[in-house]
Amino acid sequence: MSTSTAWKNVSATTIDRVRETIRQLWGYDSFRPLQQEAIEAVLADRDTVVVLPTGGGKSLCFQAPACCREGLAVVVSPLISLMKDQVDALQTNGVAAAFYNSSLSTAERSTVIEAVRCDALKLLYLAPESLLNEHMLALLGSVPLSMFAIDEAHCISSWGHDFRPEYRGLRLLKQRFPEVAVHAYTATATERVRHDIAAQLALEEPEILVGSFDRPNLNYRVQRRTRGLEQMLEVIERHQNESGIVYCISRKEVERIAESLNTLGHSAVAYHAGLSDEERIGNQESFLEERINIVVATVAFGMGIDKSNVRFVVHWGMPKSLEAYQQESGRAGRDGLEADCCLFFGGNDYGTWTRLMASSGEANDAALEALQAMDRFCSSTSCRHQDLVRYFGQSIEQQQCGACDVCLDQIELVDDSLITAQKILSCVVRLEQMYGADYTSQVLAGSQDQRILEKQHDRLSTHGILSEFPKAAIRDWIEQLIGQECARKVGEYSQLEVTDLGWQVLRGEHTPRLLKPATRGGARGRPSAADPASWEGVDRGLFESLRDLRRELAGEQGVPAYIVFGDAALRDMARRRPSSLDSFLEVQGVGQKKCKDYGELFVKHIAEYCDAGGIATDVSAAPLPPRKPAEVSASAVAAFENFKAGESVAEAAKSLGRAESTVRGYLSQFLRHEQITDPTPWVDEATARRVRDAIEQVGGDRLKALFEYLNGEVSYDDIRIVASCLANATAG
């Protein structure tokens, strides 16, 4: 029988058992995307590389089948704290699991070894160094093994953002245990890193499973640091008494901000490699057990944190790569509930990272390339979700994600972006495409620098053509044009070169989007939606009361609060308000073991709360409402009267003094908010009829397919207008 045939047969006969195990132990009734495929590969003993986003359920892909199979599953994990949290969670769910590392006493280590010999464990967590010890290899060679699972597998690749040389020794596993499948799991890996993981581990024809990198429950916002701590405080104050992480580039900044937050009345601790082990562990446990709300940290914090209810992540400085940003921001909202990810960057962040990389020996081509991609992300004017997934080789279909500052119209754009871009690119051409971004911005600003005078570039028609703007703003615009592929850097000295798209800009055939220059004391960014759909039907008072009960239990047991129950489970309890153990078992995230351990206590607590407040119990669980569309921006509302008067986009743009591209976005919000069903004020009847006919054939949610079906004869803008109106009519 071929491997593939065996795989299908094994999957067909055992996946139901795994599903039932998940329901009993973890309290979930269905698989998340790609979990079933990953589990089936484990059951078939087929090597795998599995890439799922943070919060996508990677651990369950090996934990659940390990519980159903004969033998011991060996899990490689890079951090002691991560091992402890995973094992605590497994034991809470009734799974026989243990870890073996330097934090254990001699007697405790002996107990673990004896449990391995007696076949008393289903999962054993080890660091790479512990696993590759000859004594441990000999012990594992003497017992039945079900699999090897390599967690945080990107650490094995020098192309990854967190390379760890000790991971390279794991290649030995396929040599010593050729009959045991090896499964690699990570949340962040480009295609190059995925193939490098497979090669470094010597995997045999591995199944490579890559989930979506998009995290739709995360609300991304990117701003320049212009108002000191005030910008950060706006985020923290939106999340009073909720858990959050603030990342800083330097240890000094970590200490300064943690002290400031505490002075201002927020409970915060510092975390960085310069603290003693005792301080770091104590601060981390205070955060996990919810004795404090905020950790201010360098990138030294996070990989070992399996905390599900982080409601915000602030980056007080640009991360060094999009891989790092995806992983660090991804520590928010792991329970699938909404969370804010706010990045505040400064003009000197890029230089700070290049100096740090040079001093640590990390300044190789791959690292600098990744830093440049991160820099472009910060100045991008396109959807943040789309930018992130595009970096990892994917895309999302939605034109507006409804969960980033760009799509929520929280960024301010230059009204005459086309003219400004033409001035910049024209200067690049007049400089014969031989100079870099910094020099070009000096010429545009009208600098009288000696070098410019010597080369007589002060005589160019573009010298000083943007002198009313700060040089920093012009420099930013150049980077934004590069990010939008209107220009690129070439050669050893990163000279600017106009691309084909840039020439279209010069001819007036394409309009890029440029951000208004940042101003100190500028307008505050709008907060996230205050009442998201995940709170629908939840009694907030009961939820907070259940959080207090959870915190008390976690403190008594010495485990992180989310290990008792996650926020999603508490919200569901406060929504359903179960009055019996049977109805308690229906709560999301409640399995048999947790029902046995905590059910009576929580049901009693819920009953007392409801009785005191005269609130109904055993509420029927309606499905959560769909995610709300993008909210309406204040600037868009100002255009609503123009549209109600039947003005075209061009007319409204002229009336409002805004760019047509901006006003088209306002029209989209107007159509959705006012539930407009007639597109003819903006699209002629014949065209509208063609689009409606096309939608009947192709469907209304794939704009590119509609555009191609119409032979490119109808613009994307007209298609969107008609599709929106038709969707409103259908919904009505």
| 218-391 has the same fold as 3-210 | yes
- pLDDT, residue 520, reads 44
Residue 655 reports pLDDT greater than 80: yes
Name the token pair of 343.
Answer: 């990045």
3-state secondary structure of 184: strand
| pLDDT at position 4 over 50 | no
- Pairing assessment for the beta strands 487-490 and 495-498 based on DSSP bridges: antiparallel
For residue 345, which of 313, 316, 325 has the smallest C-alpha distance? 316
| Gap between the Cα atoms of 148 and 670, Å rounded | 54
Q: How confident is the model at residue 160 (pLDDT cuts 50, 70, 90)?
A: low
Cβ contacts of 283 within 8 Å, gap of 6 or more: 269, 270, 271, 275, 292, 295
Which residue would you say has higher pLDDT here, 157 or 43?
43
Report the percent of the chain where pLDDT is more than 90.
35
Nearest to residue 43, comparing CAs of 24, 25, 70, 20?
70
pLDDT of residue 632: 52
Which band of pLDDT confidence, cut at 50, 70 and 90, is reported for residue 9?
very low
Contact 525, 223 (CB under 8 A): yes
- Asked whether residue 305 carries a pLDDT value surpassing 90, the answer given is no
d(CA 14, CA 12): 6
Give the pLDDT confidence score for residue 435 in this predicted structure: 95
What ranges in 392-433 are assigned the alpha helix state H? Answer: 417-430
- Is it the case that residue 529 has pLDDT exceeding 60? no
In this prediction, residues 557-566 reach a mean pLDDT of 80
Rg (C-alpha) for the chain, rounded Å, is 28
The pLDDT of residue 624: 44
In the chain, % helix, strand, coil (3-state, to 5) comes to 50, 10, 40
Range in 207-216, 262-271, 720-729 the model is least confident about: 720-729
Structural domain boundaries of the chain? 3-210, 218-391, 417-506, 533-613, 634-731
pLDDT averaged over every residue in the chain: 84
442 vs 558, which has greater pLDDT?
442
Q: Which of the four pLDDT bands, split at 50, 70 and 90, describes residue 495?
A: very high
Q: What's the token pair of residue 493?
A: 């000295």
Q: Kindly report the number of other CB atoms within 10 A of residue 483's CB atom.
A: 21
Quickly count: other Cβ atoms within 10 Å of residue 112's Cβ: 19
Give the DSSP letter of residue 81.
H
End-to-end CA distance of the chain: 56
Whether 341 has a pLDDT exceeding 60, the answer reads: yes
Q: Which two tokens stand for residue 234?
A: 């706006």
Instruction: Say which residue, 630 or 270, is predicted with more confidence.
Output: 270
Give 76-131 pLDDT, tens digit per residue: 988 777 788 889 889 988 999 999 988 889 999 999 999 999 999 999 999 999 99
Domain boundaries 218-391, CATH class: alpha beta
Q: What pLDDT does residue 527 have?
A: 41
Residues 6 or more apart from 111 whose CB is under 8 A from it?
Answer: none
Beta bridge partners of 75: 125, 149
Confidence of residue 664 (pLDDT cuts 50, 70, 90): confident
For domain 417-506, the question of CATH label 1.10.10.10 is answered with: yes
Q: What pTM, to 2 d.p., does this model score?
A: 0.63
- What is the Cα–Cα distance from 98 to 120, expressed in whole angstroms? 10
Mean pLDDT along residues 23-42: 86
Q: What is the pLDDT of residue 3?
A: 35
Q: What is 3-210's CATH topology?
A: Rossmann fold (3.40.50)
CA atoms in the 13 A half-sphere facing the CB of 52: 23
CA atoms of 403 and 392, how far apart (whole Å):
19
What pLDDT is attached to residue 269? 94
* Band of residue 730 on the pLDDT scale cut at 50, 70, 90: low
The CATH architecture that domain 533-613 belongs to is Orthogonal Bundle (1.10)
Q: What is the mean pLDDT of residues 573-579?
A: 92
Average pLDDT over residues 281-292: 88
Copy the structure tokens of residue 700. 């209304």
- Backbone torsions φ then ψ of 345, nearest 5 degrees: -115, 160
**Is the per-residue pLDDT at 711 higher than 80?**
yes
For residues 356 and 546, is the Cβ–Cβ distance under 8 A?
A: no
Burial of 385 (0-12, 13-18, 19+ CB in 10 A): buried
Buried b (16+ CB within 10 A) or exposed e, 260-277: bbbeeebebbbbbeebee
Query: Which residue did the predictor score with more confidence, 567 or 198?
Result: 198
What mean pLDDT do residues 543-570 have?
Answer: 85
In this structure, are residues 299 and 328 in contact, taking their beta carbons and an 8 Å threshold? yes
Taking the C-alpha atoms of residue 242 and residue 231, their distance in angstroms, rounded to an integer, is: 18
And the tokens for 397?
């279909």
Which residues are within 8 A (CB) of 78 and not within 5 positions of it... i.e. 6 or more apart? 127, 128, 151, 152, 155, 164, 167, 303, 304
Tell me the per-residue pLDDT of 364-394, one tens digit each, with 9 for 90 and over. 777 888 888 898 888 888 889 989 988 888 8
Task: Compute CA 276 distance to the chain's CA centroid, rounded to the nearest angstrom.
Answer: 30
Mean predicted confidence (pLDDT) in 416-434: 94
Please, are residues 76 and 170 in contact by the beta-carbon 8 Å criterion?
Answer: yes
Reading phi first (left if > 0) and then psi (alpha if -120 to 50, else beta), residue 678 is in: beta
Closest of 65, 33, 64, 69 to residue 51, by C-alpha: 33
Structure tokens at 5: 């045939």
Which residues are CB-neighbours of 257 under 8 A, at least 6 positions away?
A: 229, 232, 246, 248, 268, 296, 316
At 175, phi and psi to the nearest 5?
-80, -45
